[in-house]
Copies of this chain bind each other. A is one copy, B any other.
Amino acid sequence: MAVYTEVPDGELEDFIARYDIGRVVSCKGIAEGVENSNFLLHTEKGSYILTLYEKRVKAADLPFFIGLMEHLARKGLACPTPIHQRSGEALGQLCGRPAALISFLEGMWPRRPAARHCQLLGEALANFHLAGADFTMKRPNDLSLAGWRRLFEACRERAHEVSPGLAEELARELELLEREWPLSLEVGTIHADLFPDNVFFLQDRLSGIIDFYFACTDFYAYDVAVCLNAWCFEPNIAFNTTKARGFIANYRKIRSMPKAELQALPLLARGSALRFLLTRLYDWLNHPPGAFVKPKDPLEYLRKLRFHAGLRGPGEYGLDL
């Protein structure tokens, strides 16, 4: 939960006057998301999300993110789409920050995802992969192997403050992943952060996916592995094979997964668990005292990592191989 930037009313009105959406009638900071400042804006014409990009998002990446949202919306995917200024620009400046106005997507994210949510997620992820396949811009995944190594080195000396022996376990894990990480799986545009708070539902349907600010060019199957971690564990970190089976079966109805992708899943899921473990560990060790954002527990992902590391193969996720 975070709004980092206060937008003075006059500056807001000047910014919104560049769009053809009528005048602002209300603007509330939203207590969700940790990377950027988000506001729910009501104007005479409707509801919008106003995003101010804070320093964690690189300005050079914004054309990729904005372009991807536009590409996906053009393909008919249910997702927010940037509104253009009268001048044609989709990216502006507000309070000294890059800022964009995005269409409002109805729906709520599931606080307690059920098996049915995971089935619908499978379809939506596959549709996202297909819709993004001909998106021509590329962005390397800076939170893959090289990024993990950097984060690990930045946390190594103080990792024991979170759990004794953690640095040694992470070092071994990272070496194994650097040695065995796949080289030849199919690559495309992936979301890379498709947690429940980025997927909206309305009654019994999935109404759309949001937050493309970690999207990048990487293995499709890595996105599947991220979702296994984010959606298929219970709060006590027990893996729910019903959820995983439903998720992957529905994914495969829309995009077939070659055998190599299925075989790679446990390793990709270990990598994905390490990625969230390391970013959480970094935030845990480096969040300023009294910060707005309460850091998430890194050890949740250590337990997930160990689960994947202990599997004999992808069949143990409950999949039909």
Contact = CB atoms under 8 A, between A and B. Distances in A.
Contact of A30 (B30, B111, B294): B30
A290 B109 CA distance: 26
Nearest to A203: B23
B106 A42 contact: yes
B202 A25 contact: yes
A29 interface: yes
A291 interface: yes
A106 B25 contact: yes
B26 A29 contact: no
A297 interface: no
Contacts of A31: 1-3, 28-31
A3 B8 CA distance: 22
A230 to B, nearest CB: 17
Contacts of A290: 287, 289-291, 294-295
A110 interface: yes
> What is the interface of chain A mostly: helix, strand, loop, or mixed?
loop
Nearest to A30: B28
Contacts of A104: 26
A145 interface: no
Interface in A93-127: 104, 106-112
Residue from A3, A30, A32 having most chain B Cβ neighbours under 10 A: A30
Nearest to A8: B111
Count of this chain's copies in the oligomeric assembly: 2
Contacts of A201: 9
Given A47-B42, A290-B290, A294-B292, A29 B27 contact: no
Interface string A274-315: 000000000000010111101100000000000000000000
Contacts of A157: none
Contacts of A110: 9
Contact of A40 (B10, B40, B111, B287): B40
Nearest to A104: B26
Given A30-B28, A30-B30, A32-B28, A292 B107 contact: no
Contact of A9 (B8, B10, B108, B287): B108
A24 interface: yes
Contacts of A111: 6-9
A154 interface: no
Contact of A26 (B23, B27, B106): B106
Contact of A1 (B24, B26, B292): B292
18 contacts: A1-B29, A2-B31, A3-B31, A7-B111, A8-B112, A9-B201, A10-B112, A25-B107, A26-B104, A26-B106, A26-B107, A26-B200, A28-B30, A29-B30, A31-B31, A42-B47, A42-B106, A289-B290
